[in-house]
């Protein structure tokens, strides 16, 4: 009897893994904030569903060197029938990098697990779809120049140079090849269209010292920003490129006050 149940269990397990991955276009979001599309080249996207991978696997030593893998745990994501770079897979979630050379417009995407393909979904790709990384308490993830996190207990000061982390700022110059892990700084191509709003007011373009890729971190952008000489406490922060903007309501931890003096430091 025991042997019969073991055989039945194995048959059921094989039948379960014979099922195709299950997901829909509505279950694909931008990874930093789980906001829906559109998406941008070189941005990190997440697909939620079931049966996406046989078990969890992320990036570990030996899985990658200078480029991201296109397969993790026998799972692949295809963007317009080309394998996309992967960051993480599990039964219910896949994080992948939208190829930086992908053209704008309607893009077809599908997940393949162990050779079994899921449904082909269509999403919209645009030049840039800014998104800010955020904490569970609604603050943008940003850092002081010493790499310490800006938070209510360690707020930024007026006049300080800070680093704001973002995703979806689009193509850069030079633009990395699909899956290439950037080794050097690369400014965004649409720098002249970039605006950073603090408390609803656009920052002076001259205050944006750098906006581009973060070396060593695929899909991660940073904006090196000089804060205005006067700011309210915890202003709303939004980043926009043309008509695409990060969602409203996110705060930057700032201590109100006048201009502060900081040493001349570069990042």
Mean pLDDT of 92-115: 96
pLDDT of res. 63: 65
Q: Are 213 and 185 in contact (CB under 8 A)?
A: yes
Q: Of 171, 220, 169, 229, which is closest to residue 201 (Cα–Cα)? A: 229
Q: Is 104 exposed, middle or buried (0-12, 13-18, 19+ CB in 10 A)?
A: middle
- The total of other beta-carbon atoms located within 10 Å of residue 97's CB is 25
pLDDT of res. 66: 83
Average pLDDT value for the chain: 89
Residue 96: alpha-carbon gap to chain centroid: 9
Q: How confident is the model over 123-163, as pLDDT tens digits?
A: 999 999 999 999 999 999 999 999 999 999 999 999 999 99
Locate the DSSP E strands across 32-84. Answer: 44-48, 57-58, 75-79, 82-83
Q: Are 135 and 44 in contact (CB under 8 A)?
A: no
- Does residue 65 carry a pLDDT above 90? no
Q: Are 241 and 169 in contact (CB under 8 A)?
A: yes
pLDDT of res. 62: 63
pLDDT of res. 91: 97
pLDDT of res. 15: 41
Mean pLDDT of 8-23: 62
- pTM equals 0.85
Q: Are 160 and 166 in contact (CB under 8 A)?
A: no
Q: What percent of the chain has pLDDT over 70?
A: 88
Token pair in block for residue 118: 């899921």
């Amino acid at each position: 009897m025991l042997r019969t149940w073991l055989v039945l269990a194995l048959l059921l397990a094989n039948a379960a893994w014979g099922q195709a991955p299950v997901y829909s276009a509505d279950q694909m979001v931008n990874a930093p904030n789980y906001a829906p599309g559109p998406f941008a080249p070189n941005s990190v996207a997440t697909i939620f569903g079931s049966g996406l991978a046989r078990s969890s696997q992320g990036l570990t030593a030996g899985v990658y060197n200078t480029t991201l893998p296109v397969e993790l745990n026998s799972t692949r994501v295809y963007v317009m029938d080309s394998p996309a770079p992967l960051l993480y897979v599990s039964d219910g979630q896949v994080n992948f990098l939208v190829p930086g050379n992908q053209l704008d417009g309607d893009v077809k995407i599908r997940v393949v697990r162990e050779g079994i393909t899921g449904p082909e979904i269509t999403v919209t790709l645009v030049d840039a779809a800014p998104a800010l990384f955020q904490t569970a308490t609604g603050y943008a993830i940003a850092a002081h120049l010493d790499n310490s996190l800006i938070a209510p207990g360690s707020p930024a000061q007026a006049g300080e140079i800070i680093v704001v982390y973002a995703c979806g700022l689009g193509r850069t110059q030079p633009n990395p090849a699909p899956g290439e892990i950037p080794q050097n700084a690369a400014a965004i191509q649409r720098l002249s269209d970039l605006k950073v709003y603090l408390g609803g007011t656009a920052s002076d373009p001259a205050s944006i010292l750098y906006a581009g890729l973060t070396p060593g971190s695929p899909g991660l952008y940073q904006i090196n920003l000089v804060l205005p000489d006067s700011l309210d406490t915890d202003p709303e922060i939004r980043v926009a490129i043309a008509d695409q903007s990060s969602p409203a309501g996110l705060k930057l931890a700032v201590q109100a006050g006048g201009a502060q003096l900081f040493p001349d430091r570069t990042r």
